Amino acid sequence: MKKPRYTFAQLRGDLFGGLTAGVVALPLALAFGVASGAGAIAGLYGAIAVGFFAAWLGGTRTQVSGPTGPMTVIMAAAVAAFPGELPSVFTVVLIAGLLQIVFGLIKLGGFVRYIPYPVISGFMSGIGVIILLLQLHPLLGGASVGSPLVALIELPKAIAGANPYSLLLAGFTLLIVFKTPLRISRVLPSPLIALFCMSLLSAVLSLPVDTIGKIPAGLPQLSFPSISAEQTPKILAMAIALSVLGVMDSLLTSIVADSMTRERHDSNRELIGQGVGNMVSGLIGGLPGAGATMRTVVNIKAGGSTRLSGMIHSLFLLAVLLGLGKYTAHIPMAVLAGILIKVGVDILDYRMLKVLNRAPREDLIVMLAVFGITVFVDLIAAVTIGVALAALLLTYRMAQQTQINVSEVPPAEWQRRIGKDLQEQSDFRIRVISVRGAFFFGTTTRMQGKINKLIGAEVVIINCLNVPFMDISAAFALSEMVDKLKEAGIRPILVITEGVGLDRLLQGLGCSDIFGKDGIQVDYNKAVELARDRLGADGREPPT
């Protein structure tokens, strides 16, 4: 098949899309850099490095990558964990990028779809609240704080010492970013309008407010990795959290891009591209990045249709770095705080918030637990505990849906003329355990609890014809139950569906031998016939 030619119309769309996305990215990159504690320049470096390499090597043609709110929160935690040791902080970024490359190479990209939605919802809303809380102090004219809990505790003191000029600038910034009409924001992004107008107002009136300060011009210097034995566990833990969050952030944005362009991204290639970008960012002292939803949407809406658009966005920011850094020094911190508050509000998962009162209780528990742990405890623990809790509750729900019943053999399944009276004549010496649904570790205790009901039987048919899945816990539990039945002189017969793999599982685990000859059947009527023959072999008259 002939590859389509790259047209002038595509070039024009990529140029306009990339430049527009770059304009949107500029204030956010500066704001994220300041919020992280690594400095505004780190935000620009990260936007340039991740934006270029993720676009070039990634698996989503129209995606624009760079520092994002969630990634910045973890970066801020790393800066706080290694005070005055930026080389260690950037080592976290470097290792996170390396891990993302590994994830892509071993094809873990598709697994992000298995992260439960309540976990993602609670995490993203928690990140949004963290951003809001951390920006309250700069908005009031105070110094930035390192954690949401400290921000809340020291909020009364910050309010008492609030700078009215910072409040004025922040108030106008919020008004611009929230109230600018969409038809204007599509042409000139509201964060850029706020950044330019409020910075100009502050400079003209010489307002006494904190500003970003001087940003070094020129190309970045290489920042070589720094890691010691005592720092290794902490660095690895943060790198894992950063890499996993970047995977989630990027691939969710890729899905958004797919829905707009009607294309299909390559998840594993996307992870490799993001990983290379983050490794380069770590080497030059930049913030970590991921696929950025807002910038990606802006790029597509403005005409971007190929990888070139994301690369142009990055080159535009490089041009800003080389020539316009001296002008960004006068940007007030309160203005950046106002822009980031808009980011925090946008990150909140309104889709879930709207249905909180109607959501299933188990999903609500997971979402609120992840949200609370994210905001007040730890980001890594939030995702880990959230996934574990979701899996536990899912196991409980699946176990509740699996039916395990003990009954005598139904009359309709005997040979002709065998009725209820003949069953009673056999004193219910043939009993049946029927399992319906997944047979796994969550249901094994219920199976074992049925043994007491089998006293007096001579043959037990374990009917697993309606079992689509059995795990190793269930296989071993079944073996233990069969052992107990045989010790009591009861013959077990297992009935399974042919072709679903239960026979291979039992044979592979060495559990099939315990049933003996003809102990495993795929025909229920054959199992009933064998049970009847067993009664006859004991010298008793079987029902006929």
- Helix axis angle for 69-81 and 232-261, nearest 10°, is 170
Q: What is the pLDDT of residue 421?
A: 43
Residue 443 above 50 pLDDT?
yes
Q: What is the pLDDT of residue 97?
A: 96
Higher pLDDT, 85 or 360: 85
Q: What is the pLDDT of residue 480?
A: 81
- Helices (H) and strands (E) counted in the chain, each on its own, are 24, 7
Q: What is the pLDDT of residue 450?
A: 66
Residue 239 above 70 pLDDT?
yes
247-261 pLDDT per residue, tens:
888 887 787 788 678
Q: What is the pLDDT of residue 413?
A: 47
Measured between alpha carbons, how far is 432 from 428 in angstroms, rounded to an integer? 10
Lowest mean pLDDT among 86-100, 192-206, 349-363: 349-363
Measured between alpha carbons, how far is 370 from 389 in angstroms, rounded to an integer? 9
Q: What is the pLDDT of residue 48?
A: 95
What does residue 405 show for φ and ψ, rounded to 5 degrees? -120, 145
Average model confidence (pLDDT) across the chain: 80
Q: What is the pLDDT of residue 536?
A: 66
Task: Give the confidence band of 501 by pLDDT, cuts at 50, 70, 90.
Answer: confident
Strands 491-496 and 403-408 turn out to be unpaired
Measured between alpha carbons, how far is 105 from 271 in angstroms, rounded to an integer? 9
Q: What is the pLDDT of residue 414?
A: 42
Measured between alpha carbons, how far is 362 from 109 in angstroms, rounded to an integer? 27
Q: What is the pLDDT of residue 182?
A: 80
Task: Give the confidence band of 102 by pLDDT, cuts at 50, 70, 90.
Answer: very high
CB burial string 181-216: b at 16+ within 10 A, e below: eeeebeeebbbbbbbbebbeebeeeebebebbeebe
Q: What is the mean pLDDT of residues 24-33?
A: 82
- Please report, rounded to a whole number, the percentage of residues in the chain having pLDDT higher than 90: 19
Q: What is the pLDDT of residue 8?
A: 81
Q: What is the pLDDT of residue 57?
A: 95
Tokens standing for residue 523: 């025909």
Q: What is the mean pLDDT of residues 154-159?
A: 88
Q: What is the pLDDT of residue 54?
A: 96
Using an 8 Å Cβ cutoff, are 506 and 474 in contact?
no
Measured between alpha carbons, how far is 69 from 339 in angstroms, rounded to an integer? 12
Cα–Cα separations (whole angstroms), residue 512 to 256, 486, 504: 49, 14, 9
Task: Give the confidence band of 406 by pLDDT, cuts at 50, 70, 90.
Answer: low
Measured between alpha carbons, how far is 60 from 236 in angstroms, rounded to an integer? 28
Residue 65 above 70 pLDDT?
yes
Sheet strand arrangement including 520-521: 403-408, 430-436, 459-466, 491-496, 520-521
* Helix locations, 186-266, DSSP H: 190-205, 232-261
38-52 pLDDT per residue, tens:
888 899 999 999 999
Residue 197 above 80 pLDDT?
yes
Measured between alpha carbons, how far is 190 from 185 in angstroms, rounded to an integer? 5
Q: What is the mean pLDDT of residues 77-94?
A: 90
266-325 pLDDT per residue, tens:
999 999 999 999 999 999 999 999 998 778 877 887 678 899 999 999 998 998 888 766
Measured between alpha carbons, how far is 46 from 26 in angstroms, rounded to an integer? 11
Q: What is the pLDDT of residue 402?
A: 54
Beta bridge partners of 439: 470
Using an 8 Å Cβ cutoff, are 33 and 39 in contact?
yes
Q: What is the mean pLDDT of residues 406-431?
A: 52
Using an 8 Å Cβ cutoff, are 406 and 435 in contact?
no
Q: What is the pLDDT of residue 274?
A: 96
DSSP 444-505: HHHHHTTGGGGTT-SEEEEEEEE---B-HHHHHHHHHHHHHHHHTTPEEEEEE-TTSSHHHH
Higher pLDDT, 268 or 497: 268
Q: What is the mean pLDDT of residues 181-197?
A: 81
Higher pLDDT, 161 or 187: 161
Residue 362 above 50 pLDDT?
yes
Q: What is the mean pLDDT of residues 436-456?
A: 68
Measured between alpha carbons, how far is 536 from 524 in angstroms, rounded to an integer? 19
Residue 114 above 70 pLDDT?
no
Those residues with Cβ within 8 angstroms of residue 204's Cβ, 6 or more apart along the chain or in another chain: none
Task: Give the confidence band of 409 by pLDDT, cuts at 50, 70, 90.
Answer: low
- Please report, rounded to a whole number, the percentage of residues in the chain having pLDDT higher than 70: 83
Tokens 């709110």 found at: 69
Measured between alpha carbons, how far is 165 from 209 in angstroms, rounded to an integer? 7
Q: What is the pLDDT of residue 173?
A: 92
Q: What is the pLDDT of residue 428?
A: 67
Using an 8 Å Cβ cutoff, are 482 and 451 in contact?
no
CB burial string 136-169: b at 16+ within 10 A, e below: bbbbbbbebbebbeebeeebeebeeeebebbebb
Lowest mean pLDDT among 44-53, 158-167, 236-245, 401-410: 401-410
Q: CB count, 10 Å around CB of 3?
A: 5
Cα–Cα separations (whole angstroms), residue 74 to 67, 178, 356, 388: 11, 26, 27, 21
Using an 8 Å Cβ cutoff, are 33 and 46 in contact?
yes
Q: What is the pLDDT of residue 141?
A: 86
Q: What is the pLDDT of residue 253?
A: 79
Using an 8 Å Cβ cutoff, are 321 and 217 in contact?
yes
Instruction: Write down all domains in the chain, each with its CATH number in brackets.
Output: 8-346 (no CATH), 402-537 (3.30.750.24)
Residue 543 above 80 pLDDT?
no
